[in-house]
Amino acid sequence: MIAAIILLASSPDPMFGPDKIKHAAGSFIIFSSAYTLSDSPWDCRGIASAAGITVSAGLLKEIYDWKTKGKFSWRDIFWDGVGLAAGLGAVWVGKKGGEF
Protein backbone atom coordinates (compact mmCIF):
# COMPACT_ATOMS: atom_id res chain seq x y z
CA MET A 1 0.00 0.00 0.00
CA ILE A 2 2.76 2.42 0.92
CA ALA A 3 4.63 1.55 -2.28
CA ALA A 4 1.51 2.34 -4.32
CA ILE A 5 1.17 5.74 -2.64
CA ILE A 6 4.85 6.51 -3.29
CA LEU A 7 4.48 5.47 -6.94
CA LEU A 8 1.37 7.61 -7.38
CA ALA A 9 3.02 10.59 -5.72
CA SER A 10 6.20 10.34 -7.80
CA SER A 11 4.64 9.94 -11.25
CA PRO A 12 4.75 12.82 -13.78
CA ASP A 13 1.10 13.49 -12.91
CA PRO A 14 0.94 12.84 -9.16
CA MET A 15 -2.36 11.92 -7.55
CA PHE A 16 -1.85 14.52 -4.82
CA GLY A 17 -0.52 18.04 -5.17
CA PRO A 18 -1.38 21.72 -5.49
CA ASP A 19 -2.83 21.22 -8.97
CA LYS A 20 -5.30 18.65 -7.67
CA ILE A 21 -6.42 20.97 -4.87
CA LYS A 22 -7.10 23.65 -7.50
CA HIS A 23 -9.21 21.23 -9.52
CA ALA A 24 -11.26 20.20 -6.48
CA ALA A 25 -11.70 23.78 -5.28
CA GLY A 26 -12.61 25.03 -8.75
CA SER A 27 -15.24 22.34 -9.21
CA PHE A 28 -16.62 23.02 -5.74
CA ILE A 29 -16.96 26.72 -6.56
CA ILE A 30 -18.48 26.07 -10.00
CA PHE A 31 -21.01 23.57 -8.63
CA SER A 32 -21.98 25.74 -5.67
CA SER A 33 -22.33 28.86 -7.82
CA ALA A 34 -24.28 27.15 -10.59
CA TYR A 35 -26.61 25.53 -8.07
CA THR A 36 -27.17 28.80 -6.21
CA LEU A 37 -27.90 30.67 -9.45
CA SER A 38 -30.22 27.99 -10.86
CA ASP A 39 -33.88 28.75 -11.41
CA SER A 40 -34.91 25.82 -9.26
CA PRO A 41 -32.82 25.69 -6.11
CA TRP A 42 -33.82 22.91 -3.72
CA ASP A 43 -34.92 20.89 -6.74
CA CYS A 44 -33.23 17.98 -8.54
CA ARG A 45 -33.14 20.05 -11.75
CA GLY A 46 -30.90 22.60 -10.05
CA ILE A 47 -28.56 19.83 -8.90
CA ALA A 48 -28.49 18.18 -12.34
CA SER A 49 -27.80 21.43 -14.16
CA ALA A 50 -25.06 22.43 -11.69
CA ALA A 51 -23.46 18.98 -12.02
CA GLY A 52 -23.62 19.21 -15.82
CA ILE A 53 -21.98 22.62 -15.84
CA THR A 54 -19.27 21.41 -13.45
CA VAL A 55 -18.49 18.26 -15.45
CA SER A 56 -18.44 20.25 -18.69
CA ALA A 57 -16.01 22.78 -17.24
CA GLY A 58 -13.66 20.05 -16.05
CA LEU A 59 -13.74 18.21 -19.37
CA LEU A 60 -13.23 21.40 -21.36
CA LYS A 61 -10.21 22.28 -19.20
CA GLU A 62 -8.66 18.85 -19.82
CA ILE A 63 -9.39 19.03 -23.56
CA TYR A 64 -7.70 22.44 -23.59
CA ASP A 65 -4.67 20.98 -21.77
CA TRP A 66 -4.59 18.08 -24.23
CA LYS A 67 -4.67 20.41 -27.26
CA THR A 68 -2.15 22.94 -25.90
CA LYS A 69 0.16 20.84 -23.69
CA GLY A 70 -0.40 17.38 -25.14
CA LYS A 71 -1.66 15.86 -21.89
CA PHE A 72 -5.09 14.78 -20.69
CA SER A 73 -5.19 13.93 -17.00
CA TRP A 74 -7.75 11.48 -15.69
CA ARG A 75 -6.45 12.30 -12.23
CA ASP A 76 -7.50 15.92 -12.72
CA ILE A 77 -10.95 14.66 -13.76
CA PHE A 78 -11.05 12.56 -10.58
CA TRP A 79 -10.31 15.63 -8.46
CA ASP A 80 -12.95 17.60 -10.36
CA GLY A 81 -15.36 14.88 -9.24
CA VAL A 82 -14.17 15.24 -5.65
CA GLY A 83 -14.94 18.96 -5.79
CA LEU A 84 -18.36 18.30 -7.32
CA ALA A 85 -19.13 15.78 -4.55
CA ALA A 86 -17.99 18.26 -1.90
CA GLY A 87 -20.23 20.93 -3.44
CA LEU A 88 -23.16 18.53 -3.44
CA GLY A 89 -22.44 17.69 0.18
CA ALA A 90 -22.32 21.37 1.11
CA VAL A 91 -25.64 21.96 -0.64
CA TRP A 92 -27.19 18.96 1.09
CA VAL A 93 -25.95 20.07 4.52
CA GLY A 94 -27.13 23.61 3.87
CA LYS A 95 -30.62 22.46 2.91
CA LYS A 96 -33.07 22.39 5.76
CA GLY A 97 -33.71 18.81 6.80
CA GLY A 98 -31.09 17.40 4.45
CA GLU A 99 -33.64 15.97 2.00
CA PHE A 100 -33.72 16.53 -1.74
Assess if residue 12 is contained within a domain.
no
Q: What is the reported pLDDT for 10? A: 53
- Identify residue 56 by its one-letter amino acid code: S
Q: What is the reported pLDDT for 45? A: 85
Assess if residue 60 is contained within a domain.
yes
C-alpha span between 32 and 25 (Å, rounded)? 10
Q: What is the pTM of this model?
A: 0.80
Note whether 58 and 27 are within 8 A (CB). yes
pLDDT-flagged residues of the chain (< 50)? 7
Assess if residue 4 is contained within a domain.
no
3-state secondary structure of 96: helix
Assess if residue 72 is contained within a domain.
yes
Residue-range definition of the domain harbouring residue 83 = 20-95
What secondary structure letter does DSSP report for 3?
A: H
